[in-house]
């Protein structure tokens, strides 16, 4: 734990070294950043025991507040399903491309109400990190509502954006203040779109769907967003009005995806018959 020096004056580093830091950096990012405090370190294994990892995260108030509900690992959920092998491979190669260890993707199921019925969720995603055995370990959270609202290509686009944040965190030494802000959100989108594994058309529809999912959730469950007006004024519109949001506007994200669609189309030879002269 080299970060913990006796008399270290930088309390943020010290916090980073002993805590999980939750960065709100999702497909439907809110505007804030939350720092978690008081988490004990995981055990001394290099590969963290997964049950212990979940327990560590659940011990954090910020995680319980923002990501309530049962947490499972996406790869466990997918298991050995051959239909998901392409998804798994593309996920892994995006991580290699970004020069990061593939983060654990934690799927957050909806919490249950008193009657045993699932409570509403936001279409949310975000990253968190903590120091385990002296090394940073990054996780990506996604809600089940987000996952079920997206197809695999769209989900991969959303995860590529989150992995972009992981690579930013790595580059900036996991300093929370450096992995925050609209510039970094734009950059995470650019990173995702730069991956050949990510279909820019899927990225585009992901952005649109996330807005729609948020609007539907806000309409049906206004208190989910802590604002009854979401029943009348869609969440996407409110996000647009609230200029303080870190995420670029949906329209700007669509534009960026469109530019990449165009760029790839131009880079791909349109003739399927190379060498065949057409009269």
DSSP category for residue 249: P
- 101-131 exposure pattern, b = at least 16 Cβ within 10 A, e = fewer: ebbbbbbbbbeeeeeeeeebbbbbbbbbbbb
Report residue 52 as tokens: 């212990």
Tokens 């309530």 locate to 68
Q: Which stretch binds Zn ion (CB under 5 A): 84-92, 179-187, 219-227, 270-278?
A: 179-187
Q: Which stretch binds Zn ion (CB under 5 A): 6-14, 39-47, 147-155, 187-195?
A: 187-195
Q: Which stretch binds Zn ion (CB under 5 A): 26-34, 60-68, 73-81, 149-157?
A: 26-34
Taking the least distance from each CB to Zn ion, the nearer of 97 and 221 is 97
Taking the least distance from each CB to Zn ion, the nearer of 22 and 29 is 29
Determine, following the binding rule CB under 5 A, whether residue 25 of this chain makes contact with Zn ion.
yes
Site for Zn ion in 228-267 (CB under 5 A): none
Taking the least distance from each CB to Zn ion, the nearer of 29 and 132 is 29
Q: Which stretch binds Zn ion (CB under 5 A): 22-30, 34-42, 107-115, 203-211?
A: 22-30
Taking the least distance from each CB to Zn ion, the nearer of 25 and 57 is 25
Which residue number places its CB atom closest to Zn ion?
Answer: 25
Contacts by 232-237 with C-beta closer than 8 Å and gap 24+?
235/211, 236/211, 236/212
Determine, following the binding rule CB under 5 A, whether residue 179 of this chain makes contact with Zn ion.
no
Q: Is 105 helix (H, G, I), strand (E, B) or coil?
A: strand
CB of 247 to Zn ion, least distance (A): 6
Taking the least distance from each CB to Zn ion, the nearer of 17 and 29 is 29
Site for Zn ion in 44-73 (CB under 5 A): none
Total binding residues toward Zn ion, as defined by CB under 5 A: 4
The answer to whether the CB of 140 falls within 8 A of the CB of 29 is no
Taking the least distance from each CB to Zn ion, the nearer of 25 and 63 is 25
DSSP per-residue codes, 136-160: EEEEEEEEHHHHHHS-HHHHHHHHH
Determine, following the binding rule CB under 5 A, whether residue 193 of this chain makes contact with Zn ion.
no
Q: What is the dihedral of CA 164, 217, 149, 114, to 10 degrees?
A: 100
- Taking Cα atoms as reference points, which of 160, 155, 158 lies closest to residue 191? 160
Q: Which stretch binds Zn ion (CB under 5 A): 21-29, 72-80, 104-112, 190-198?
A: 21-29
CB of 126 to Zn ion, least distance (A): 8
Report residue 223 as tokens: 């208190």
Cross-strand bridge partners of residue 22: 34, 128
Report residue 17 as tokens: 């070294």
CB of 167 to Zn ion, least distance (A): 12
| CA 4/CA 212 separation, integer angstroms | 44
Q: Which stretch binds Zn ion (CB under 5 A): 29-37, 96-104, 112-120, 255-263?
A: 29-37
| 22 alpha-carbon distance from chain centroid | 11
Interface with Zn ion by CB under 5 A: which residues?
25, 29, 185, 188
């Amino acid at each position: 734990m080299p970060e913990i020096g006796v008399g270290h004056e930088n309390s943020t580093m010290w916090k980073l070294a002993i805590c999980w830091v939750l960065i709100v950096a999702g497909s439907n990012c809110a505007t804030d950043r939350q720092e978690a405090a008081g988490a004990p370190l995981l055990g001394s294994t290099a590969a963290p025991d997964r049950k212990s990892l979940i327990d560590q995260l659940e011990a954090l108030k910020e995680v319980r507040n923002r990501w309530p509900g049962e947490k499972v690992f996406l790869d466990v959920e997918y298991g050995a399903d051959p239909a998901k092998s392409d998804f798994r491979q593309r996920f892994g190669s995006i991580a290699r491309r970004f020069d990061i260890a593939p983060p654990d993707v934690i799927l957050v199921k909806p919490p249950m109400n008193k009657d045993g019925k699932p409570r509403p969720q936001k279409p949310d995603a975000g990253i968190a990190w903590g120091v385990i055995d002296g090394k940073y370990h990054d996780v990506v959270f996604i809600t089940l509502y987000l996952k079920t609202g997206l197809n695999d290509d769209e989900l991969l686009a959303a995860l590529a954006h989150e992995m972009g944040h992981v690579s930013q965190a790595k580059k900036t030494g996991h300093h929370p203040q450096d992995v925050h802000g609209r510039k970094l959100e734009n950059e995470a989108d650019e990173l995702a779109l730069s991956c050949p594994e990510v279909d820019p058309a899927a990225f585009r529809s992901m952005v649109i769907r996330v807005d729609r999912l948020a609007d539907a959730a806000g309409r049906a469950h206004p208190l989910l967003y802590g604002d009854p007006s979401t029943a009348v004024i869609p969440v996407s519109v409110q996000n647009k009005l609230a200029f303080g949001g870190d995420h670029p506007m949906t329209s700007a994200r669509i534009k960026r995806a469109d530019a990449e669609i165009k760029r790839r189309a131009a880079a791909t030879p349109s003739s399927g018959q190379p060498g065949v002269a057409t009269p």
